[in-house]
Structure 1
Amino acid sequence: MSDLIGGRLGLEAYARYTEQLWFVYAALEGGAARDGLTSDPVAGPFVRPELARTPELARDLAYLRGPDWRSDLEPLPATAAYAARIEDCAAAWRGGYVAHHYTRYLGDLSGGQALGARAEQLWGFAHRGDGVRFYAFDAIGNPAAYKRAYRARLDALPVDAAEKARIADECRRAFECNGAVFRELGELYPAA
C-alpha cells in the first residue's frame, strides 16, 4: 500500500488492485442480497445502500480497462480466498460478515480517502471522477459522523461478550486477508 500511495507502482498496479477490490465487494454486497442479510438482526443494521461500492467499481474498471473489463477479470489466489471467507461468513455466521464489512467499509471511508486523492494526483484522474469513483462516498454527507454512527451500531450488536471477541478475531483475519492480497500484488508489481 505504501508503494502504491508513494507512486512507486504504476497505473497498471493500481488497476489490478481495483480489480481485486471488485471480487471483495462483490462478495460483500452479493452475500448481503443473496443471503437475506438486510433483515438479519446482527448484519442488517450495517447493510446500507449508501455504502454500495460495486457500481462505482464497475465504472472505475470500465474506465481503467475498457468496456470489456469483465472478460479478463481474474482474482489473485489471496483475493479468491478473501472473497470465499466473506461469502462463508455471509451464509453461515453473521457476526463474521459484520467483521469483514467493518474492516472494508470503514477502512475505505478512512484511509481509502487518502488513496483516492493520491491516485488523482499520480495518474491525473478527475477529482472523484472515473478511475477513483470507488473512493467517493457521495451518498454519505459527513464521513466522520457516519463512522461514529457505524461504531455505535457495532457497540449495540445483539451478541454476548464471547461473540464480540470472536468478531474482533475475525476483524484481524480480515486485515490478514487484505494484507495477503497486497503481498501477492507486491510480487507481481515490485516497487520501482
Structure 2
Amino acid sequence: MGTVEPGQGFSVALRTATWSDHGDNEGSSYMSALIDGRLGRAEYAVLVAQLYHVYDLLEQAADRMAGDPVAAAFDFGDLRRREALQADLAFFYGPGWAERITPNNATERYCERLAEVCFDWAGGFVAHHYTRYLGDLSGGQYIARQVERSLGIDAGDDGVRFYRFPGKPKGYKDRYRSLLDAAPWDEREQARIIAEVKLAYRLNAEVTAELSRELRIEPAA
C-alpha cells in the first residue's frame, strides 16, 4: 500500500495510493446536487459552515506546528482559508454568522480527529492539510465555477472567496509536491501518512453524506 518505487517521489505514491478514496465525496448526493446546480444559497451555505469548523481547527494546528521543521514548510500563508470562509459566511448569514452555524455530527468527528493528530504529529498535520488544500486547488476550482453559475455569484465576490487564491493553483501544487518529495519520512512513516490521508477523505465524505440526509437530497434520477 503506497510503496514508493525507485525513482518515484512520495507525492506520486501518495496520489496513486489515495486516488480511489478522494472520489468518495464527489459521489455524494449533496455534491452531485451542488455540481449540477440543484442547490440554493441556503443549502450551499450549510457546507460553508461545516468547512469553517474544519479549517478553523486545522489552521489552529498550523499555528501550533509553526516551530516544526517539516510541518511548518507546508503552511503557505496564501493557502489559509479561515478569513475567506468568514467573508463567505458573513455573505450568507449576515454579521451574526458565528452564532448561527453549528457543526453536524460528522463534522464533529472530523474535528475530533484533527485535534488528535494535527497538533503534535507532523505527518498527521500534513496528511489532513494535503487532503484539504490540494483538493481546494484542484477539484475545488471546478466546484467554484459551478457555484458561481448556479447561485449567480461573480467570481471573486463574497460567497466564493473560499475557492479563490492570490496565485495560480499550479504553482502552489508544484511547490507542495516538491515538499512532499523532500520530506524526511521513511517508508513506515509514509505508510502512516497514506493511511491518514485515506481516513481524511472518508471523514470529509461523511460530512457531505450527512448533509445529504439532513437536507433530504436524493440522488439524481
- The TM-score, its normalising length taken from structure 1, stands at 0.94
Tell me the equivalent position of 2:27.
none
Counterpart residue identity of residue 23, structure 1: H
TM superposition shift of 1:94 = 1.6
Higher relative contact order (CA 8 A, sep 6+): 2
1:150 aligns with 2:171: no
Are the aligned partners of 2:93 and 2:100 in contact in 1 as well (CA < 8 Å)?
no
Moved over 3 A (4+): none
Counterpart residue identity of residue 75, structure 2: V
Please show how residues 24-103 of structure 1 align to structure 2 within 5 Å: 24-33=54-63, 35=64, 37-103=65-131
Are the aligned partners of 2:56 and 2:82 in contact in 1 as well (CA < 8 Å)?
yes
- The TM-score, its normalising length taken from structure 2, stands at 0.82
Counterpart residue identity of residue 40, structure 1: D
Are the aligned partners of 1:5 and 1:115 in contact in 2 as well (CA < 8 Å)?
yes
Are the aligned partners of 2:144 and 2:163 in contact in 1 as well (CA < 8 Å)?
yes
Cα RMSD of the aligned pairs, angstroms, is 1.2
Of 43, 56, 63, 1:13 maps to: 43
Of 154, 158, 161, 1:133 maps to: 161
Counterpart residue identity of residue 6, structure 1: D
Counterpart residue identity of residue 189, structure 1: L
Tell me the equivalent position of 2:32.
2
- Structure 1 alignment gaps of length 5 or more: none
Give the aligned length.
Answer: 188
CA distance in 1, matches of 2:155, 2:108: 31
Q: Work out the percentage of aligned pairs sharing the same amino acid.
A: 45
Are the aligned partners of 1:9 and 1:190 in contact in 2 as well (CA < 8 Å)?
no
Are the aligned partners of 1:82 and 1:178 in contact in 2 as well (CA < 8 Å)?
yes
Higher-Rg structure is 2
1:171 aligns with 2:197: yes
